[in-house]
Amino acid sequence: MASRIGKNITVSIFGQSHSAGIGCVIEGIPAGKRIDLDELQAFLTRRAPGGMPWSTPRKEADLPEFLGGIVDGVTCGAPLAAVIRNTNTKSADYDELRRVPRPGHADYVANLKFHGAQDVAGGGHFSGRLTAPLCIAGGIALQLLREQGVEIGAHIANIAGVADDAFVLHGLSAEDIHRAGSKAFPVNNDGSGERMISAIAQAREEGDSVGGIVECAAVGMPAGVGEPMFDGVENAIARVLFGIPAVKGVEFGRGFEASQLRGSQNNDAMRVKNGVVAFESNNAGGANGGITTGEPVVVRCAFKPTPSISKPQHSIDMQALCNEELSVHGRHDPCVVVRAVPVVEAAVALALYDLLLESRMD
Amino acid sequence: MASRIGKNITVSIFGQSHSAGIGCVIEGIPAGKRIDLDELQAFLTRRAPGGMPWSTPRKEADLPEFLGGIVDGVTCGAPLAAVIRNTNTKSADYDELRRVPRPGHADYVANLKFHGAQDVAGGGHFSGRLTAPLCIAGGIALQLLREQGVEIGAHIANIAGVADDAFVLHGLSAEDIHRAGSKAFPVNNDGSGERMISAIAQAREEGDSVGGIVECAAVGMPAGVGEPMFDGVENAIARVLFGIPAVKGVEFGRGFEASQLRGSQNNDAMRVKNGVVAFESNNAGGANGGITTGEPVVVRCAFKPTPSISKPQHSIDMQALCNEELSVHGRHDPCVVVRAVPVVEAAVALALYDLLLESRMD
Amino acid sequence: MASRIGKNITVSIFGQSHSAGIGCVIEGIPAGKRIDLDELQAFLTRRAPGGMPWSTPRKEADLPEFLGGIVDGVTCGAPLAAVIRNTNTKSADYDELRRVPRPGHADYVANLKFHGAQDVAGGGHFSGRLTAPLCIAGGIALQLLREQGVEIGAHIANIAGVADDAFVLHGLSAEDIHRAGSKAFPVNNDGSGERMISAIAQAREEGDSVGGIVECAAVGMPAGVGEPMFDGVENAIARVLFGIPAVKGVEFGRGFEASQLRGSQNNDAMRVKNGVVAFESNNAGGANGGITTGEPVVVRCAFKPTPSISKPQHSIDMQALCNEELSVHGRHDPCVVVRAVPVVEAAVALALYDLLLESRMD
Amino acid sequence: MASRIGKNITVSIFGQSHSAGIGCVIEGIPAGKRIDLDELQAFLTRRAPGGMPWSTPRKEADLPEFLGGIVDGVTCGAPLAAVIRNTNTKSADYDELRRVPRPGHADYVANLKFHGAQDVAGGGHFSGRLTAPLCIAGGIALQLLREQGVEIGAHIANIAGVADDAFVLHGLSAEDIHRAGSKAFPVNNDGSGERMISAIAQAREEGDSVGGIVECAAVGMPAGVGEPMFDGVENAIARVLFGIPAVKGVEFGRGFEASQLRGSQNNDAMRVKNGVVAFESNNAGGANGGITTGEPVVVRCAFKPTPSISKPQHSIDMQALCNEELSVHGRHDPCVVVRAVPVVEAAVALALYDLLLESRMD
CA pair distance A103, D4, nearest whole angstrom:
42
Q: Pick the residue from chain D with its C-alpha nearest to C5.
A: D230
- B78 to chain C: nearest residue by CA? C228
Using the Cβ of C195 and the Cβ atoms of chain D, whether some distance falls under 8 Å is answered with no
3-state secondary structure of C347: helix
Name, in order, each residue with C-beta under 8 angstroms of B115's C-beta and a sequence gap of 6 or more.
A362, D31, D32
The nearest CA of chain C is from the CA of B340 a distance in Å of 31
Predicted confidence at residue B91, as pLDDT, reads 58
Distance CA(A44)–CA(A82), nearest Å, equals 13
Cα of B252 to nearest chain C Cα, Å: 25
Query: Which residues, listed in sequence order, are joined to residue A65 by a DSSP beta bridge?
Result: A83
Average pLDDT (A116-128) is 92
Q: What is the ipTM of this complex?
A: 0.97
Q: What is the pLDDT of residue D63?
A: 87
Please tell me the distance from the alpha carbon of residue D43 to that of residue D349, in angstroms, as a whole number: 13
Q: Which residues of A touch D30 (CB under 8 A)?
A: 361-362
Looking at the complex, does the CB of residue A8 fall below 8 Å from at least one CB of chain D? yes
Among the listed residues B109, B96, B99, B106, the one whose alpha carbon sits nearest the alpha carbon of residue B320: B99
Burial of B276: CB neighbours in 10 Å, binned 0-12, 13-18, 19+: exposed
pLDDT for position B93: 60
- CB distance B31–C357 less than 8 Å? no
Q: Chain A residues with CB inside 8 Å of B161's CB?
A: 260
Cβ contact, residue pair C21, A117, below 8 Å: no
Q: Do A69 and C14 touch (CB under 8 A)?
A: yes
Helix axes C337-358, C131-147, angle to 10 degrees: 50
* Residue of C11, C130, C131, C229 to mutate when probing chain D, most D C-beta within 10 A: C229
Mean pLDDT of A334-357: 97
Is the CB of residue C79 less than 8 Å from the CB of residue C26?
A: yes
A34 touches C at CB < 8 Å: no
Q: What's residue C94's pLDDT?
A: 66
Contact indicator for B167, B282 with CB cutoff of 8 Å = no
N- to C-terminal Cα separation, chain C: 28
Is 80 exceeded by the pLDDT of residue D302? yes
In chain C, whose CA is at the least distance from the CA of D264? C208
Distance of residue C361 Cα from the nearest chain B Cα, in angstroms: 7
Measured CA to CA in angstroms, residue A297 lies from A139, A169, A265, A283 at distances of 18, 8, 19, 10
Can you tell me whether residue B111 is helix, strand or coil?
helix
Cβ contacts (< 8 Å) between A228 and chain D: which residues? Answer: 77-78
Cite the DSSP H helix spans in A55-147.
107-113, 131-147
Q: How confident is the model at residue A162 (pLDDT cuts 50, 70, 90)?
A: very high
**pLDDT tens for each residue of D189-214:** 999 999 999 999 999 999 999 999 99
* Residues facing residue B152 across a β-bridge: B218
Question: Is C228 in contact with D2 (Cβ distance < 8 A)?
Answer: yes
Close Cβ partners of D291 (under 8 Å, ≥ 6 residues apart)? C106, C109, C110, C112, C113, D223, D224, D225, D226, D227, D228, D232, D233
| Percent of chain C at pLDDT exceeding 70 | 97
* CB-based contact B31 D114, cutoff 8 Å: yes
DSSP structure class, residue A308:
-
Instruction: Flag whether pLDDT at A91 surpasses 80.
Output: no
Cα B355 from Cα B227, distance rounded (Å): 8
Residue B261 has pLDDT above 80, yes or no: yes
What would the pLDDT profile of D47-79 be if each residue is shown by its tens digit? 987 767 777 766 777 889 999 999 999 999 999
For the residues of B58-91, what is the DSSP string, one character each?
A: -------EEEESEETTEE-SSPEEEEEE--S--G
Residue C245's H or E segment, with its range, is: none
The Cα D168–Cα D172 span in angstroms is 6
State how far the Cα of A298 lies from the Cα of B305, in Å rounded to an integer: 19
Query: Which residue in chain B is spatially nearest to A211 when comparing CA positions?
Result: B259
Flag whether residue B75 sits within 8 Å of chain D, measured between CB atoms. yes
What are the φ and ψ backbone dihedral angles of C150, each rounded to 5 degrees?
-105, 125
C223 contact D CB<8A: yes
Is B316 within 8 Å of chain A by CB?
Answer: yes
Q: What are the angstrom distances between the C-alpha of C349 and each of C132, C138, C219, C299, C353?
A: 15, 6, 11, 12, 6
Instruction: State the chains in contact with B (3 or more Cβ–Cβ pairs under 8 Å).
Output: A, C, D
Question: Would you say B23 and B36 are in contact if contact means Cβ atoms under 8 Å apart?
Answer: no
Chain D nearest-CA distance from C130, in A, is 9
Cβ contact A249–B256 (<8 Å): yes
Task: Please indicate whether, in this complex, the C-beta atoms of B357 and C362 are within 8 angstroms of each other.
Answer: no
Q: Which of C335, C340, C54, C50 is nearest to C215 (CA)?
A: C340
Q: Which of D43, D68, D76 has the alpha carbon at shortest distance from D349? A: D43
Q: Which residues of D touch C7 (CB under 8 A)?
A: 1
Give pLDDT, residue B1.
Answer: 63
Q: Is C1 on the interface with B (CB under 8 A)?
A: no
Q: How near does any CA of chain A get to the CA of D67, in Å? A: 18
Using CB atoms, list chains with 3+ pairs below 8 Å to chain A: B, C, D
pLDDT grade for A328, boundaries at 50, 70 and 90: confident
Given CB atoms, is A2 within the 8 Å cutoff of chain D? Answer: no
Residue A82 contacts residue A23 (beta carbons within 8 Å) = yes
Put simply, the answer to whether C81 touches A14 (Cβ < 8 Å) is yes
B94 has pLDDT over 70: no
Nearest-neighbour CA in chain B from C350: distance (Å): 16
Indicate which of A12, A24, A33 best probes the interface with C, i.e. most C CBs within 10 Å of its own CB.
A12
Q: Which residues of B touch A228 (CB under 8 A)?
A: 2-3, 106, 125-126
Q: What pLDDT sits at residue C40? A: 97
**Averaged pLDDT, D110-130:** 93
**What is the rounded distance in angstroms from the CA atom of residue B153 to the CA atom of residue B164?**
15
**pLDDT recorded at residue A51:** 67
pTM for the whole thing?
A: 0.97
Q: Which amino acid is at B13?
A: I
Nearest CA-CA distance, residue D217 and chain B, Å: 29
Percent of chain A whose pLDDT exceeds 70: 97
User: Rounded CA gap, C136 and C11, in Å?
Assistant: 10
Under-70 pLDDT residues of chain C: 1, 51, 57-58, 90-94, 331
Separation of alpha carbons C66 and C43, rounded Å: 16
Is D100 touching C (CB cutoff 8 A)?
no
Residue A216 — pLDDT band, cuts 50, 70, 90? very high
Closest-CA distance of chain A to residue C316, Å: 22
C273 in contact with D, Cβ within 8 Å: no
- Are B357 and C361 an interchain contact pair (Cβ–Cβ within 8 Å)? yes
CA distance A362 to B339: 32
Predicted confidence (pLDDT) per residue in C243-254, tens digit: 999 999 999 999
What is the nearest CA distance from A142 to chain B, expressed in angstroms?
A: 20
User: Please, which chains are in contact with D (at least 3 CB pairs closer than 8 A)?
Assistant: A, B, C
Helices (H), B129-223: 131-147, 174-178, 190-205
Do the Cβ atoms of B59 and B42 come closer than 8 Å?
Answer: no
* Full 3-state SS string of C125-194: HHCHHHHHHHHHHHHHHHHHHHHCCCEEEEEEEEECCEECCCCCCCCCCHHHHHCCCCCCCCCCCHHHHH
User: Tens of pLDDT along B300-325?
Assistant: 999 999 999 999 999 999 999 999 99
What is the pLDDT, as a whole number, of residue A198?
96
Least confident of A93-107, A181-195, A268-282, C269-283: A93-107
